[in-house]
Amino acid sequence: MLARGEVRVGVDVGGTFTDFVIFYVEEGRVERLKIPSTPQDPAKAVIEGLRRIVEKVGHEKMSVVVHASTIGSNLFLGQLGLEIPKTALVTTKGFRDVLEIGRQRRPELYNVFFTKPRPLVPRRLRFTVTERVSHRGEVLTPLNEEEVVEIAKRLREEGVKAVAICLLNSYVNPVHERKVAEILRELLPQDVYIVPSCEVDPEYREYERTSTTVVNTVLMPVISQYILNMKRGLEALGVRSNLLIMLSSGGVVSADKVIKAPAATIESGPAAGVVASTYISRMLSVSKALSFDMGGTTAKVCAIVGGEPLVVPEFEVGGKVHRGRLIRGSGYVVRYPHIDLAEVSAGGGTIAWVDEAGRLRVGPYSAGSDPGPACYGRGGTDPTVTDANLVLGRLGRVLAGGEVVLREDLARRAIEEKICAKTGLSLEEAAHGVIRLVNAEMARAIKIVTVERGLDPREFTLIAFGGAGPMHACDLAEELRISNIIVPQAPGTFSALGLLLADYRYDLKTCILKRLGELDADYLEDCFRELEERGERLLREEGFTEENMVFLRYVDMRYARQSYELMIPAPRPVTDMDSLRLRFLERHRELYGYAVETEDVILVNVRVTAIGVTRKPSLREHAETGTGGPEPYTYREVYFDSEGWVKTPIYKRESLKAGQVVYGPAIVEDYDSTIVIKPDWTCRADKYLNLLIEKR
């Protein structure tokens, strides 16, 4: 039987499962689906899931498909089995090696054998042209167009797939850069991507601009082919819906727009979960929340303060992460807005092992979905976090509504052979040790986004989701002395729901790079209006009208002779420079504890975020049925660190009605996740059927 009315679908490709959320707009109802991911061909699992949805609701009902993935980051980490597309760089004579020189930043200060990441463009494919534009935008040396023609011949001979163009000071005056692009487009095959930096990152700092442009250029052939395959798959299913892609900033844009700036999507998967957590925190009036997403491969944490996640203007892709911290200088710089996350290799599929000293270790490697944890019965023999949870009774016998059947005998064998035999630990001690170690790693990630940012985790509410997040939430809360936990509906597919909660977003900027004393309010207003007009055009192309558009203004500012700037919200309208200076001083004092009022302040960039506000799925409210609890459907022995083995009631989540209370120890089993309620904790279902877990 076909569903009535419009249907929207969110798709989140994870390392272990691909998650789908189906939103029936007329009914305000949400359904979910999980199927194993296909890492070597991510689109395969996406199309298979959409096929199942089409069979249920009909292709004519699907109006929008919103997609998030980590294809970009996986490409740079070598996880897709693909080669980096053959890419060239055209730059100003004398600046051929900017990409390789980078910044004087050593990720491993005392490692004399450290080598920088391999440049995405080899030196023989980095070409230079005679031209020069000053930092004020004056043409000092005209462009030698004959050299560009010769470079085009070399590029044809090399058979490059994409060309990045990054000329000195083109962020001020892109006249030469645009001319180079024009010549190359005329002389090279139409299927070669030509990417001038002025269309990607019109901002100063030569290395960062070059790196961002090159990353974009490298990704274009890969992302465009992936999107083309997705569209073909949708057409084969008879689906004519809009295909939207999540950005790392937490917004969405149409797939065709993403092809021009694919680097903006590199961390779109993790961003989706933060968007959903932000929605929940606003809905429940939680002023300080921690978005905690533990899936099959990694755990990700983000602090949300005042209903807004922290967004940073720059990140690195393909770099190394040490205990949740990105090692600066180990990857490729990308200057696009990015939700500030701490991520650790701690998921259900994370492998436990014993090192040469006989110590139990967990991570960083994951069993993924193929072969997966030993208990999946797909040939995996390494013990994982999921195996440990199963042995301790925290998990039932099936996952994803029966999509995966778990075998405890295989989990026991893996732990006994790979851990117990090497350490002398009992089965329970080994499994509990795995859980404690992975919890310690995730607690460290939470401290990165709270304690290291000057925030007290005890003041926060933990929003736990992902397939494994609610299983470990009480453990983490106890370790960090957090008193409140929220487990939303459909926690295992919560990130996919975030895709349907996102607004369209375009981030635009203009480089100013002048002292405040050299500027006036009218000039800045003109800069803001020009960016807002560009944003309005982009949103109108997406089908938005003026009443559904919101424009946010920011300025990047720093002291003279400082290296990095702060992004400050700007007033509307800007009436004087003193108000901007005061905002900068307040923010500097808030972050660093001091502000120098007599020092010159530089205004580096003017930014506008253009937002197209979408219709959000509204969670249905339920009348409370009283404070009693439901009847457990069974009992089983569960191991708790404080109590040992305890006969524990097991509940089906759908049996918990609004207002009902469950006292720990207890296990609540959901379609896509399992919630562990430890002793001394209480769980109550609110009117939206979120589970509110509190320390007694």
What is the CATH classification number for the domain harbouring 596?
A: 3.30.1490
d(CA 588, CA 601): 11
Asked whether residue 673 is assigned to any structural domain, the reply reads yes
Q: Which residues contact 248 (CB under 8 A, 6 or more apart)?
A: 264, 265, 266, 267, 268, 271, 315, 336, 337, 338, 339
Label the pairing between strands 634-640 and 661-663: unpaired
Residue 510 has pLDDT above 70, yes or no: yes
Lowest mean pLDDT among 150-154, 335-339, 402-406, 521-525: 402-406
Mean pLDDT of 114-134: 90
- Residues 531-589 pLDDT 10s: 999 999 999 999 899 999 999 999 999 999 888 899 999 988 888 899 999 999 999 99
Which residues make beta-bridge pairs with 674? 669
- Among 160, 284, 164, smallest CA distance to 213 is for 164
Inter-residue contact 429 to 393 (CB < 8 Å): no
DSSP line for 270-339: HHHHHHHHHHHHHHTT-SEEEEEEE-SS-EEEEEEETTEE-EES-EEES--EETTEE-TTSSEEE-S-EE
- pLDDT confidence tier of residue 641, bands split at 50, 70 and 90: confident
Of 190, 218, 246, the residue that ends a domain is 218
Quick one: three-class SS letters along 310-328?
Answer: CEECCEEECCCEECCEECC
d(CA 459, CA 457): 5
- Among 348, 418, 406, smallest CA distance to 378 is for 406
Mean pLDDT of 472-491: 94
Mean pLDDT of 641-646: 88
State how far the alpha carbon of 548 is from the alpha carbons of 199, 509, 611, in Å: 26, 21, 8
Q: Which residues contact 502 (CB under 8 A, 6 or more apart)?
A: 66, 246, 250, 251, 252, 272, 275, 614
User: What confidence score (pLDDT) does residue 3 get?
Assistant: 41
User: What confidence score (pLDDT) does residue 403 get?
Assistant: 67
- Residues 439-479 pLDDT 10s: 999 999 999 999 988 889 999 999 999 889 999 999 999 99
Q: Are residues 202 and 229 in the same domain?
A: no
| Residue pointed to by tokens 């005890």 | 458
Asked whether residue 416 is assigned to any structural domain, the reply reads no
Q: Are residues 116 and 208 in the same domain?
A: yes
Q: Are residues 238 and 201 in the same domain?
A: no
Q: Are residues 121 and 189 in the same domain?
A: yes
Residue 195 has pLDDT above 90, yes or no: yes
Lowest mean pLDDT among 212-226, 312-326, 391-405, 626-640: 312-326
Lowest mean pLDDT among 340-344, 354-358, 389-393, 651-655: 340-344
Which residues make beta-bridge pairs with 242? 64
Mean pLDDT of 489-516: 90
Q: Are residues 209 and 107 in the same domain?
A: yes
d(CA 208, CA 233): 36
Q: Are residues 157 and 234 in the same domain?
A: no
Lowest mean pLDDT among 26-40, 125-139, 485-499: 26-40
Mean pLDDT of 271-275: 91
Residue 286 has pLDDT above 80, yes or no: yes
- pLDDT confidence tier of residue 400, bands split at 50, 70 and 90: low
d(CA 457, CA 449): 9
Q: Are residues 53 and 152 in the same domain?
A: no
d(CA 173, CA 155): 25
Asked whether residue 430 is assigned to any structural domain, the reply reads no
Helix (H, G, I), strand (E, B) or coil at 604: strand
d(CA 426, CA 437): 16
92-116 per-residue burial string, b: 16 or more CB within 10 A, e: under 16: bbebbebbeebeeeebeeeeeeeee
Q: Are residues 140 and 185 in the same domain?
A: yes
The amino acid occupying position 396 is G
pTM of the model: 0.86
Asked whether residue 465 is assigned to any structural domain, the reply reads no
| Residue pointed to by tokens 């937490």 | 250
- Residues 377-386 pLDDT 10s: 888 899 999 9
Inter-residue contact 467 to 399 (CB < 8 Å): yes
User: What confidence score (pLDDT) does residue 1 get?
Assistant: 32
Q: Are residues 209 and 251 in the same domain?
A: no
DSSP summary character for residue 615: P
Asked whether residue 280 is assigned to any structural domain, the reply reads no
- Residues 287-317 pLDDT 10s: 999 999 998 888 999 999 999 898 888 888 7
d(CA 350, CA 467): 13
- pLDDT confidence tier of residue 2, bands split at 50, 70 and 90: very low
Mean pLDDT of 46-65: 86
Asked whether residue 688 is assigned to any structural domain, the reply reads yes
Residue 82: other Cβ atoms inside 10 A: 14
Residue 44 has pLDDT above 90, yes or no: no
Inter-residue contact 348 to 468 (CB < 8 Å): yes
Q: Percent of the chain beyond pLDDT 90?
A: 56
Mean pLDDT of 612-619: 82
Inter-residue contact 634 to 665 (CB < 8 Å): no
User: What confidence score (pLDDT) does residue 665 get?
Assistant: 95
The residue range of the domain holding 204 is 87-218
User: What confidence score (pLDDT) does residue 627 get?
Assistant: 64
User: What confidence score (pLDDT) does residue 33 get?
Assistant: 86
User: What confidence score (pLDDT) does residue 197 get?
Assistant: 94
Kind plus residue range of the DSSP H or E element containing 132: strand 132-133
Q: Are residues 229 and 211 in the same domain?
A: no
Q: Are residues 607 and 661 in the same domain?
A: no
d(CA 244, CA 221): 18
**How does the average pLDDT of the chain come out, rounded?**
88
User: What confidence score (pLDDT) does residue 196 get?
Assistant: 95
Asked whether residue 661 is assigned to any structural domain, the reply reads yes
CATH code at 247? 3.30.420.40
- pLDDT confidence tier of residue 97, bands split at 50, 70 and 90: very high
- Residues 646-675 pLDDT 10s: 999 999 998 999 999 999 899 999 988 899
Asked whether residue 357 is assigned to any structural domain, the reply reads no
Q: Are residues 605 and 647 in the same domain?
A: no
d(CA 588, CA 633): 56
User: What confidence score (pLDDT) does residue 74 get?
Assistant: 65
DSSP summary character for residue 25: T
User: What confidence score (pLDDT) does residue 402 get?
Assistant: 63
Record the tokens describing residue 332, joined without a space: 């490729």
- pLDDT confidence tier of residue 372, bands split at 50, 70 and 90: confident
Q: How many domains does the chain have?
A: 4
